[in-house]
Every structure is written in C-alpha cells, then in structure tokens.
Structure 1
Amino acid sequence: MAIACTTNFSDAARRTSDTVALLSRRMNAPLCLIHVVSKTLMRTFGQSVREAALSALQGEARRLETLGAVGVETVLLTGEPEQAVSELAAERGFQLVVASAPDEPTPFRGLGGTVDRMAQELDVPFLVVRGNAALEAWARGERALRVMLGLDRSRPFEVAREWVKGLARFGPLEVVGGRVFWAGTEAERLGLEHPHNYKDISPELHDALEQEAATLLEPLRAASTSVRVRMEPGLGRVADHLVALAAEEQVDLLVVGTHQRKALARLWSVSQAARRLASMSVVSVPVLTAEQGLEAELPRVRSVLASTDFMAAGDRAIAYAFAIAPPGGTVHLLHVEPADATQEELEAARRQLELRVPREAQDGAHQVELSVLTGDDVAGVITQAAERHCVDLLCLGTHGRTGVSRAVLGSVAQQVMARSDRPAVTVRMPRA
C-alpha cells in the first residue's frame, strides 16, 4: 500500500503531513510527498520558484523521516493540482491520497475548491484530514479508531465497506454503520404498512431494517473490529443526517462511497457534502476503486428464497434452493395466493408447501421457513418478501414460455428480476 500526501506548506498541511507519516509507519507503506506549482507561478518566477519548492519538499521529507515515515519520496508537479495529482496517482498506483481540509468553506455549493475538484478526479480513496489527534493516536497504537461507515444497499457502500475492512488489518476499529432512510420508501419496498409521517417507524419496519443493516455489516465483524448500527429516519439530504449522526457518535473518521457525480448531480452528492460539513476526517472511496485492485470478499450465500406456484417448474426451484443453500443456511419457501383467498385455501396451500420440503432437507442441516402470502401482484409480493427476509439469492422457476405466450401471459420470474436488485437463479424444466 503506497500513500500520497499533498502539501502547500501551510501549517494545516504540515500537521497533516505529520499524521500521514505516522500512518505510513503504522501501515509500513511508502510515502510520496507531493507539491503542485501552478503554471502561472512558473511563468512569473521561472526556475526560482521551482528550486524553492524542491528545497521545501526535501526539508519536509527529512522531517517526516524522523517521525518514522517509510521510504519518503518527493514529487514536484506543475499544473492544476487535481489533474496533476490524479495523473500521478494513476501512474504510480497509489492506494490512498491524503490532503488537509480547506481553511475556509467554499462559498457556493455547486462549485468546489481544490479539495472538491481533487475528489472528483481521483480514482483512489481520498482522505481529507480534520482533527489529526485521533488518527495519530490510532497510528501510534494507543487506541481504537472510531469509524462511521455510511450504510445503504448500494455499490458505493460495498466498496467503502471493503476499504474499512482493509484498514482493520492495521489496527483495531470501532465501526458504526450509519443508515439514513426514508420510512415511507422503505415500508413500500418491504411490503409493510405505510407510516403516517417520516418518523413513524413501526416495530416491523425497524426490525427489518436492522436485520438488513446487520447483514450488510457482517463482513466487518472480526476480532479487531466491533460493529454496531445506528439508524435515523431522514427528511431532506442524506449527508446532513449522516454528518449529524457522526458528530453525535463522536467518531474520528467518516467513510462514504462515491459515484463521483459530475455537474449539477454533485449538488446531491453525499460524499461531497460530507467532506464540507463534517467536523471529523472523511474518506471518500470511489466505485472505480473496486475495478483497480481493491480486494473484495467473495459473496456468501446464507439464505435463499424459493417461490413456487405448485407446478413443476416452481417445485424444481425448491430443490435447487436447498442445493444452493449451505449447511446451517436458511431456505424461505413462499407461495402466493390471490388477494381474495379464503382461510381454508391459505391453510391448504401451507400444507402443500410443507409437502414440498425435500426429505433430505428434513435432517436439520437447513433452517426452513414457510410463508403463504396473498396478493394479485405476485411478482411484487415475492420481491417484497425477499427484501423483508434480506435473502442473499432468489430461486425462481420459469415455464420457459417464448413468443406470443410469453408476451400475453407474462413471466413472474422475469418481473421479479426486473424489480429486485438481489441475485436470482431461474430454473427451467428439461426439454421433453
């Protein structure tokens, strides 16, 4: 792991360099100290400004080596800082770029300063340092680092989680998963009763969201990492709530994933707003990081949902669900009856569902949960059940219709896959 630290030789940049030197020692990571001279200064002062900058860089490097920084290298660049640093990061393969927080906030949210522009250009994790003492204490091995990880079901969250997991290799962490949610949207997604207002959280909704959050954070649970969830119903921008949660939890570091949105979309960027509003250090992890060598954990299948209409293809999906689920895993078996089904019909359907549990699966190797639900939108009921149970995989039977019959009758499996972002396996019957 190689670390780059940008400096403009200000007091804040000097203090950040001290922090990065300790991180370099803790992680045994080579440190590259970077200064960028603008083309205007070069044109105005010529070689003299270059010599002065090189002298200042070399002096900083010697000082950081006395703090324990590993293999300090100095690089002097010319041009716009964000573009020059981004190009160097891509060329050298830095795995983290660090800068000090700007001294003054940017007056207009739509236009970023140097730090914002650098975050937009960099394709590697970017740490903006505020409150150096906590990071330095962790780097010295004096205490655990308190981290809040912005949590949701998205690709940016996944890459941010993997970055935090990598950080845990170098010292103990206390991770708080901060989840900001809109109660009405989540209730609709999970097929639960719609709340009367944004803070009206039913026990069923709270439990479902907490279970989902715990599952999302599971890869972080290790001997050196304590993990818990903090949930907050939101109204307005996610970043405002997330930063407030981080302040309440008194964390040392806020970590968020980012799509690196451009132009007007940046006005709603959680990572950009967090960098500006947070009182603590912030790391933004771009999604592109995952494509450039960030080690990602292989997905684990612990729970599978199989839906059947009691026809051959649906029943075949049940068999595949048990084959896929590992020992100790959970298989949810689901059947959907029409909305106007009678109690007798529901009880009969449950008996039919019980009969479809394979004999080999009755030895206790799997946990089996049966559900008979009602609704005329079968695909919607299945999708919402998958969300409530927070399953890792759906197993769906398909009749294999094509052409006109598929267009007229439709395909429940196809509709489920179109609505759900959870992985799904479709099971077809062998050809006659």
Structure 2
Amino acid sequence: MAIVCASPLMARESREVEVAAALAARLGEPLLLVGVMDGEPLTDAVRREAQRDLEAQAERLHLPPGRVSCRVRSDTEEVLADEECRHSRWVVAAAEGWRTSAWRRASLPERLARHGCGPVLSVRRADALVDWMRGRRRLLVVVGVDPLSPTADAAVGFLRELRRVGPCDVLATYVCSPLEARERLGIHTPVHVDVLEPGLRDMEALDPAVQAVLLREVREQVGDLLGEGSVEVVLEPGFGRSADHLLHVALSRGADLVVVGMRAQGPVKRWWHGSVSAGVLRNAEQAVVCVPDTLHEPRRAQPPRSVLVPVDFSDACMRAITQARSMVGPGGRVHLLHVHRRRFGETGFMDHYGVLPEPPREHEATLQRLWDLVPRDEGARALRWSVEGVSGEDIALAICQATEREGVDLVCLGTSGVPSQAPDALPVVVARELVARCRRPVMVVPAS
C-alpha cells in the first residue's frame, strides 16, 4: 500500500512532500506524488509541465529507484477516482495552499478524509514530523477519545500505526459534558447548588465519582499500546464545540500532532450537527491526522468477566444469580442490584449528591438481604461479589445507569411467567426495555 502525497500544483513550498518521503522511507512503502490543480482548468500544456516538475521533485527525494511515481490530477474528484489513492496506507497533504473557491470551505485534506481515503495527515510544522520520522525525537500526540463513539475507536487504533513509525507520548483526551455524564451514569447533583461543597459548584467541574468512571472507560478504550512512549488520560470537561476543547488541550500541552476519527456524513448533517474532525482540521496549529471510521476494527468478543443481576428477591432472580456465577468463572465479578421503585407520595428523598440510594429506613436491611443471597460454597468464594441498592421511578433506566457505573460486560435478568404482587418485583416489560435501551448485552433467564 502506497504513501500518497497530494500537493497543490501552484504552491510555492511543498514541505508535505518532504514529510511523505520520510514516512515512505520509514515504513518501506512506495511513494505516489499527486499534483492537483484544485479550482483551475488543467490544459494539456500545463499537465505536461506539471508532470515534469513532479518528476524533478521526485529525483530530489533520494529514494530508491522505482519507489516514487508521479501523477497529475485536475481536481479532488479525479484524485478520489484513483484506485491507489482510495486504498492508500497514508494520505499526506498540505494544510494550507489550496486555492478553493469562496463558497467551498472544505480544503482538500478535509474532502479526502470525508471520503475515507485512508488516514489523512494534514501537514503543519513539518520539521517536527520529519525529525520524528527520522528517529531524532519523540512525538507528543493528542488523540480524541470517546468511549461511546466508533470513530474514536478508529483514532485509537491508529495509534499503533504511529508507534510503528516512531516513539510517541500519547495524551488520550476525552472532551466530556459533566451534565451528560452524570445523566448517563445516574449520578445526580442536588437541586440546590448551595448544598454542594465550594469546590464542586462549578458547572464544568467533574464529580469525583463521575471522574473515576470516565477514567476507567477511557483506559479500557485505549487498552495496551505496543511501542515506545507514555500514555496519559486527560479529561477535559466543558460545553460547546468539542473541537475547541480538544485544541485547547493540544495547545496548552504543546502537542505536535492531533489524531481524530471522522465519520462520513452528508452535507446536511455536517451543516446541522457540525463535525469535530472538520473543526480540528481547520483550526489546529499542529499537524492533524483524520482517521475514517471505516478503519475501525470491531472489538473481539470476550467471555464476560463481570455480570450485573437485577434482584427483586424472587425465585427468578435466584436462577439469574446461578447463571451469572457460572458464566464469569473464577476471579470474575457478580454485582447484585436492587431497584426500589419510588411511589407517588413517598417522602424521605431530599436533595442527594450522588446516586439515589434505598430509602434510609430500608437501606441497611436491603443490603443485608442482598448479601444473604450470595452463595457460601467454595466456587462462590472464588468470585468477587458486590451489592447495591438504588431508588428510581424508571427501573430499566436505573439498571442501565448501573451497568455504565460498574462497567459490567453483561446483564443477567431472571423473569417469571407469573405476575408478582411484591412492591419491587421486576415486571416482564423491563426485560424488553433493557434489550432496547442497554448498551451491554442482556441475557434473559426464563422461568423453569
């Protein structure tokens, strides 16, 4: 797979060619130089002259004979139609210098990235990139991560490719909304802000419980990166455009490169929803790599190591507990969750900082009942058990939020064909709602 370098024909400087040549030499791949007359007509005379200029430029790169080829293209569409360009290992392009028409805001790097032409490197500060590719320095890379986004998975996966080129120190940066994170995890703040501690009154401050969960999720998404260099997780709380917050981290930490994932979208969606990758490409002071989500590798399915079991103290939930413990195996974890359904007129739920617990008068007794359900045999002692009691009006939502907080691999729900009159019995409809709403797999254990 070739390294493709797309350069504007009328540009005075072509530092991106030097970057592409260093990359091709480092990876041992052939180099394809593509000269693009973007926005201007390309006559036969201009095409022949441009071809000669490209070939002369290729000779000055001092790459092995036969490793460099040159082509001239009239516009972006002609570049995209090239089979070798669409299936390249990297696409290297200049961030500036494209003479696009006034109505077309997107530069050629953005249009190439939008159409999934491999990872697109938009070159700024070429000296840092060349020195890194030639083994003279380490690279500080900011990568945009999001545990809920497949485009972020593609960006994280590309870090392995970067470390094949040279050593990289990685700042895995998650731009998160504190309000949305608290809602997803079921961690609430009081209605009266003055109840909060002074250090937590800032609306952009992350709750310590939320921060602990987000750090765990980002570390799981990044995983173990082979190669030389450190990995640091950066949580950047804020509101508004995520691209601005990501670039703030890159600027304040002195990053050399920003890596973001990109999803192919139609023009209406891009105009209405915006694009993090487009904002980073247009406004970054550093080089940027856009990785299309088509390069996202699905995660390998692994046997569950942690299971959440909703408990209503019925025979059905006992069957679910037995099923859960048999699936996780020694060293696994089973989390027992009881959801107290809040009923109309029920008192005792004052403003609470954190997940709403069981009613105070029932809290200790409920936790003890949950611990009493834990088997005492030798096999059960090889597992890790945890219990939790929460309150909520929407049982399915409370279970979904608990799966996010605990980071479990599976939900194991027992159902009974006979309606129960117990106050907190799980109705059959909860199973259907969980299958539709939960991001984790749901196993339904039917009545025997």
Output the TM-score relative to the length of structure 1: 0.85
1:405 equivalent in structure 2: none
Matched-pair identity in %: 34
Q: 1:170 aligns with which of 165, 169, 174?
A: 165
2:390 equivalent in structure 1: 373
1:130 equivalent in structure 2: 124
1:413 equivalent in structure 2: 431
Q: Partner of 1:201: helix, strand, or coil?
A: coil
Q: What RMSD over aligned residues (CA atoms) do the two structures have, in Å?
A: 3.1
Letter paired with 2:300: L
1:311 equivalent in structure 2: 314
1:282 to partner: Cα distance = 0.8
Q: Do the aligned residues in 2 keep the contact of 1:198 with 1:235 (CA within 8 Å)?
A: no
2:300 equivalent in structure 1: 298
In 2, the alpha carbon distance for the partners of 1:349 and 1:262 equals 52
Q: Do the aligned residues in 1 keep the contact of 2:4 with 2:90 (CA within 8 Å)?
A: yes
1:344 to partner: Cα distance = 6.1
TM-aligned CA distance change 1:316 to 1:5, over 3 Å: farther
In 2, the alpha carbon distance for the partners of 1:391 and 1:90 equals 43
Listed as ranges, the matches of 1:252-291 within 5 Å are 252-267=256-271, 268-290=274-296
Q: Does residue 1:397 correspond to 2:414, yes or no? A: yes
In 1, the alpha carbon distance for the partners of 2:65 and 2:175 equals 38
1:289 to partner: Cα distance = 2.4
Note the alpha carbon deviations across 1:327-375, whole angstroms, 9 max, x for none: 54433222223346655644443334334434354343x3322212222
Q: 1:97 aligns with which of 91, 96, 103?
A: 91
Note the alpha carbon deviations across 1:169-199, whole angstroms, 9 max, x for none: 3332211111111111111111112375532
In 2, the alpha carbon distance for the partners of 1:107 and 1:280 equals 24
Q: Does residue 1:332 correspond to 2:338, yes or no? A: no
In 2, the alpha carbon distance for the partners of 1:140 and 1:96 equals 17
TM-aligned CA distance change 1:76 to 1:320, over 3 Å: farther
Q: Do the aligned residues in 1 keep the contact of 2:325 with 2:380 (CA within 8 Å)?
A: no
Q: Do the aligned residues in 2 keep the contact of 1:182 with 1:198 (CA within 8 Å)?
A: no
Q: Partner of 2:60: helix, strand, or coil?
A: helix
Q: 1:157 aligns with which of 152, 163, 175?
A: 152
Q: Partner of 2:33: helix, strand, or coil?
A: strand
In 2, the alpha carbon distance for the partners of 1:8 and 1:60 equals 13
Note the alpha carbon deviations across 1:313-336, whole angstroms, 9 max, x for none: 433333333344365443322222
Q: 2:59 aligns with which of 58, 62, 70?
A: 62
Q: Do the aligned residues in 1 keep the contact of 2:39 with 2:100 (CA within 8 Å)?
A: no
In 1, the alpha carbon distance for the partners of 2:113 and 2:86 equals 17
Q: Do the aligned residues in 1 keep the contact of 2:307 with 2:412 (CA within 8 Å)?
A: yes
1:109 to partner: Cα distance = 9.5
Unaligned runs of 5+ in 1: 403-407
1:55 to partner: Cα distance = 1.1
Q: Partner of 1:41: helix, strand, or coil?
A: coil
Q: Partner of 1:215: helix, strand, or coil?
A: helix
In 2, the alpha carbon distance for the partners of 1:335 and 1:278 equals 48
1:144 to partner: Cα distance = 2.2
1:71 equivalent in structure 2: 67
Structure richer in helix, relative to its length: 1
TM-aligned CA distance change 1:276 to 1:73, over 3 Å: same
1:224 equivalent in structure 2: 228
1:362 equivalent in structure 2: 380
Q: Do the aligned residues in 2 keep the contact of 1:31 with 1:70 (CA within 8 Å)?
A: no
In 1, the alpha carbon distance for the partners of 2:99 and 2:48 equals 31
TM-aligned CA distance change 1:4 to 1:223, over 3 Å: closer
In 2, the alpha carbon distance for the partners of 1:186 and 1:241 equals 16
Q: Does residue 1:185 correspond to 2:180, yes or no? A: yes
Output the TM-score relative to the length of structure 2: 0.82
In 2, the alpha carbon distance for the partners of 1:400 and 1:288 equals 44
Q: Does residue 1:6 correspond to 2:6, yes or no? A: yes
**Number of residues paired by the alignment?**
413
Q: Do the aligned residues in 2 keep the contact of 1:22 with 1:68 (CA within 8 Å)?
A: no
Q: Do the aligned residues in 2 keep the contact of 1:7 with 1:13 (CA within 8 Å)?
A: no
Q: Does residue 1:383 correspond to 2:400, yes or no? A: yes
